[in-house]
Structure 1
Amino acid sequence: MAVQKSKKSVSRRGMRRSHDAMDEPTLSTDSMTGELHKRHQVTATGYYRGKKVVNVKVAS
């Protein structure tokens, strides 16, 4: 089992943990439908930046 040579300071521990926080996803409003979607992602209806890029099949 690995054992550290010396104690890590509270400051070092805090610096390591500073990257562990969860961020809320950045949302954008689609100009065609007005729905919210994640940035740089195709919407559920298949639009990206106001243009139809994917043909979405309707589930029946």
Structure 2
Amino acid sequence: MTSKTHTPQDKDDKAVRTLEEICENTRAIRRVVNRILDHLHETQDTDDDYDPYTLDWADLDNYDDMYY
């Protein structure tokens, strides 16, 4: 059984591969997010008075499963 010595070049190569993988994953995430945003913009309501952040108490009570 031989031990493998890691040279600084090996560490640099691994760091570069890791960064390339992170960049590739980031681009994939960005593509998915853009696709979702495009879909949301296409299906957006044309009602100017619509506020997506308004909730009534009944909705809050019906969907509150914090204590179940």
* TM-score calculated relative to the size of structure 2: 0.35
Larger Cα-atom Rg? 2
Q: Which has the higher contact order (CA 8 A, sep 6+)?
A: 1
Greater strand fraction, Structure 1 or Structure 2: 1
Greater helix fraction, Structure 1 or Structure 2: 2
